[in-house]
Structure 1
Amino acid sequence: MAIISQEETRTIIHNSIWKQNAGLVQILGLCPVLVMSNNIVNGVSLGLATSLVMLISGAAVAAIREFIPNELRAPIFILIIAALVTMVDLLFNSYVHDLYIVLGIFIPLITTNCIVLARAEAFASKNGPLQSALDGFFMGLGLTGVLLVLGAMRELIGKGTLLSGIDLVFGPAAKSWIIHVIPAEYNYQFLLAILPPGAFIGLGFLIAGKLALDRRAEAKAKQQALLAAKLAQASE
């Protein structure tokens, strides 16, 4: 099995988390992004489940890609993904049942999430198992980051809290971990942020923010290249 160089590792991680971010650049998997980003706990839990499926499915697809006929690639990829999603679904049901009930159908729907199948087709079917596992995991983490930030925005604006529902993961004692930015006695609620339209608006702001940062970095790189060229001319 080929060893991944540090440069290749950095490239895969940068592309997965930032340059080709599934939620902000490829705009894939909008259904879970928009529905399950109403708070941090739901978004991060679904994102980590997706990351685990993408890690293992990427490695599995890459390991058997040379033995799969082209005309059977899609059904075999879906079969692998479905088996892994079933395992994750059973784990959630066994160990975090209350959260499992909240996430509902969106765990099984990871099977049809276009992010998972797209990476299996576009990357894992053309690269080695280590590269594919790394790409899948960090592509999932990139989506998890979007779900975390979007969930924090919607939860904070919509309910004035952070980490609402953390007790679904760590038990009733974790209710004390919930951060009430706006005191509970005010019964604050802003429905637009909690409902799906708030997800569309929040995602739009995140996409705009990423574009602004990319343009700023590009302008800075051009300035540095121009400065380096002037210094090179002056030294001649």
Structure 2
Amino acid sequence: MFKPDYAAYREITLNGLWKNNPGLVQLLGLCPLMAVTTNMVNGLGLGLATLIALVSSNVAISIVRHYISEEIRIPAFVMIIAANVTLIEMLIKAYFHDLYNILGIFIPLIVTNCIVIGRSEAYAAKNPPIHAGLDSLMMGIGFMLVLMVLGGLRELVGNGTLFSEAHLMFGEAARSLTLSFGDDFKGLLLAALPPGAFIGLGFLVALKNWLDRRSA
């Protein structure tokens, strides 16, 4: 009879969201983290795509892990990840075409994202599907939240807006969700440029480390 291991589930959740967050602790996936977080909606879009690819790939890898020989383990994992990412890319291109044009090459590059490959090798290949699924879900959510927060901060400081392109994901009705400081707000150009992403991420990492030390 299956008995849920709530202590293990809690530890997996805390690791993915905070203790071992891919963006703030492991510092993985920095290329898309820096490139697409010019606003919150872009971060949300790529974060969701990465989350779905991470969960679907790691659950599949966990299920077939006993049937893959050691010699072809990594190539087999990459093929599973590539198949899932290709399907996700096609769905985004079909239903969110404008967002797809913005995210561009960073959607297919999820195949080589260190978070996806790293969790498949370090966790999914060694644990049952329910644990692998929860681990990938929490890691994906943790990464997506970092993308959204960093994108929101850069958008707010750089352009004086928030949710400015929400209609790309939620339809024309979502244009009313845009928050703005007004037309007179000049904004800080550095926040919208790649160096602004590095600086913003640095502040987020420093804030997390400060909170960890304070709680300890």
TM-score, structure 2 as length reference = 0.97
How far off is 1:217 after superposition?
A: 1.2
Tell me how far 1:164 sits from its aligned partner: 1.3
Deviations 1:114-151 (A, max 9, x none): 11000000000110001001101110100011111111
Shift of 1:71: 1.6
Equivalence for 1:209: 207
Note if contact 1:167-1:173 (Cα within 8 Å) is conserved in structure 2.
Answer: yes
Question: Residue type matched to 2:94 in 1?
Answer: S
* Structure 2 partner of 1:34: 34
Q: How far apart, in 2, do the equivalents of 1:34 and 1:58 lie?
A: 25
Structure with max Cα Rg? 1
Runs of 4+ in structure 1 displaced over 4 angstroms?
A: none
The residue aligned with 1:61 is 61
CA distance, structure 1, for counterparts of residue 117 and residue 206 of structure 2: 26
Give the fraction of aligned pairs with identical amino acids, expressed as a percent. Answer: 51
Matched to 1:84, the amino acid is: N
* Contact 2:160–2:185, Cα closer than 8 Å, also in 1: no
Aligned with 1:191 (options 178, 189, 193): 189
Is the Cα contact below 8 Å between 1:40 and 1:152 reproduced in 2?
yes
Which consecutive residues of structure 2, in runs of 5 or more, have no partner in the other structure? none
Task: Please provide the CA RMSD for this pair.
Answer: 1.2
Instruction: State the 1:173 CA deviation.
Output: 2.7
How many Å separate the matches in 2 of 1:189 and 1:208? 24
Partner amino acid, structure 1, of 2:200 = G
Distance verdict in 2 for CA 1:2–1:64, change over 3 Å: farther
Whole-Å Cα distance in 2 between the matches of residues 50 and 173 of structure 1? 26
After TM superposition, give the deviation of residue 61 of structure 1 in Å: 0.6
Three-state SS of the structure 2 residue aligned to 1:125 is helix
Residue in 1 aligned with 2:6? 6
Unaligned runs of 5+ in 1: 219-236
What is residue 200 of structure 1 aligned with on the other side? 198
Q: CA deviation at 1:58?
A: 1.0
Q: How far does residue 2 in structure 1 lie from its aligned partner after superposition?
A: 5.1
For residues 32 and 179 of structure 2, the distance between their equivalents in structure 1, rounded to whole angstroms, comes to 24
| Cα deviation digits, residues 139-197 of structure 1 (max 9, x gap) | 010001111111111000000000011111122232121111x10x2262321000100
8 A Cα contact 1:41 1:166, kept in partner? yes
Q: Deviations over 1:62-116 (max 9, x none)?
A: 1111111112111100000000001100110111111111111111010010110
Equivalence for 2:116: 116
Counterpart residue type for residue 129 of structure 1: P
The 1-side partners of 2:175 and 2:118 are apart by 38
TM-score of the two chains, using structure 1 as the length reference: 0.89
